[in-house]
């Protein structure tokens, strides 16, 4: 009797510089993602810390999952990634994947640098205010990635401000409302203008899908987590903690059944037959 064929998933979880957590509990995120993948006996998962060996793993991979804070594909790796997507690959990009290289512009401030991979991904991270509570709205409840989710839910997380790169062919899945970046002076990253707000002046996209050739990308901005050894949050919004003091351990969206459902739906989408 022939042995069933495995579906290959490649998981990239890591910070920059290599081997560092970069302000996130990478072990926690890695284990949570692997735990979901492990429940499907047809999936075999390979794991990396960054994109340096992308060419080794992509050819036999059906789904690429990334949870990173700093690592990003260089131009050569982006070419490999884009070619793989155009040929039918699927990419589930989470949280800090929309970031990447940050250039120092002031003594204590940095600004994100847009790269070619942001065009492939379809979004570019500008900034996020301090950890806060906010509502996530389901923009398209008919999509398989949002299947089974309520119309909206409240979370506590980093509220990412992302600039869409291809709004015309992007299907918005998750949104929130925020008229202005409430970051205190000197907090976070410098950016020229708030290009993350939609034309209505208040809606921000937190999750989307977009086609790339015969493949596709799904991006979900939620997912900050840290523990006492890797937290770099100087303070949090009073909606999280009335004193503004940063929790030593923070799981945020990871503790919500809605986020778990999003991840499971997205992995099912990514590993489904073409």
CB atoms near residue 72 (< 10 Å): 23
CB atoms near residue 111 (< 10 Å): 16
The reported pLDDT for the residue numbered 4 is: 55
Q: Kindly report, residue by residue over 217-252, the tens digit of the pLDDT.
A: 999 999 999 999 999 999 999 999 999 999 999 999
Distances (CA, A) of 134 to 6, 67, 153, 176, 235: 39, 22, 8, 7, 17
Distance CA 251, CA 226 (A): 7
Whether the bond into 17 is cis, omega within 30 of 0: yes
Across 74-81, average pLDDT: 98
The reported pLDDT for the residue numbered 132 is: 98
Distances (CA, A) of 99 to 72, 87, 111, 189: 8, 25, 10, 11
Do 193 and 212 form a contact (C-beta atoms < 8 A)?
no
Burial class (CB in 10 A: 0-12, 13-18, 19+), 134: middle
Strand 7-15 versus strand 63-69 pairing type: parallel
The reported pLDDT for the residue numbered 203 is: 98
Across 181-205, average pLDDT: 95
pLDDT of 98 over the 60 cut: yes
Is the Cα dihedral 8, 80, 146, 207 positive or negative? positive
Distances (CA, A) of 125 to 95, 151, 219: 10, 25, 12
CA 208 to chain centre: 10
The reported pLDDT for the residue numbered 107 is: 76
pLDDT of 2 over the 70 cut: no
The reported pLDDT for the residue numbered 274 is: 73
Closest by Cα among 12, 120, 93, 63 to 270: 63
CB atoms near residue 147 (< 10 Å): 15
pTM above 0.85, yes or no: yes
Strand 102-104 versus strand 110-112 pairing type: antiparallel
The reported pLDDT for the residue numbered 229 is: 97
Q: Kindly report, residue by residue over 120-161, the tens digit of the pLDDT.
A: 999 999 999 999 999 999 999 999 999 999 999 999 999 999
| Residue 92 backbone zone (phi > 0: left; psi -120 to 50: alpha; other: beta) | beta
Class assignment of domain 7-271? alpha beta
With bands split at pLDDT 50, 70 and 90, how would you rate the model's confidence at 211? Answer: very high
pLDDT of 208 over the 70 cut: yes
């Amino acid at each position: 009797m022939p042995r069933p064929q495995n579906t290959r998933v490649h998981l990239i979880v890591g910070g920059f510089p290599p081997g560092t957590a970069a302000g996130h509990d990478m072990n926690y995120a890695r284990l949570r993602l692997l735990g979901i993948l492990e429940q499907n006996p047809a999936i075999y998962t390979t794991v990396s810390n960054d994109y340096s060996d992308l060419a080794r793993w992509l050819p036999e991979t059906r789904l690429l999952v990334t949870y990173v804070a700093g690592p990003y594909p260089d131009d050569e790796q982006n070419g490999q990634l884009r070619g793989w997507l155009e040929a039918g690959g699927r990419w589930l990009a989470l949280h800090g994947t929309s970031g990447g290289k940050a250039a120092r512009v002031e003594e204590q401030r940095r600004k994100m640098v847009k790269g070619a991979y942001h065009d492939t991904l379809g979004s570019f991270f500008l900034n996020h205010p301090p950890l806060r509570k906010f509502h996530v709205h389901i923009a398209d409840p008919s999509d398989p990635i949002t299947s089974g989710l309520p119309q909206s839910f409240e979370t506590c997380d980093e509220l990412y401000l992302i600039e869409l790169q291809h709004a015309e062919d992007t299907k918005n899945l998750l949104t929130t409302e925020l008229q202005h970046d409430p970051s205190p002076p000197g907090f976070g990253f410098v950016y020229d203008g708030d290009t993350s707000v939609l034309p209505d002046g208040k809606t921000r996209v937190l999750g989307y899908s977009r086609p790339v050739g015969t493949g596709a990308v799904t991006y979900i901005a939620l997912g900050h987590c840290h523990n006492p050894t890797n937290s770099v949050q100087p303070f949090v919004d009073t909606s999280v903690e009335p004193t503004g003091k940063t929790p030593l351990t923070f799981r945020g969206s990871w503790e919500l059944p809605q986020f778990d459902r999003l991840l499971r739906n997205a992995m099912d989408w990514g590993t489904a037959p073409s």
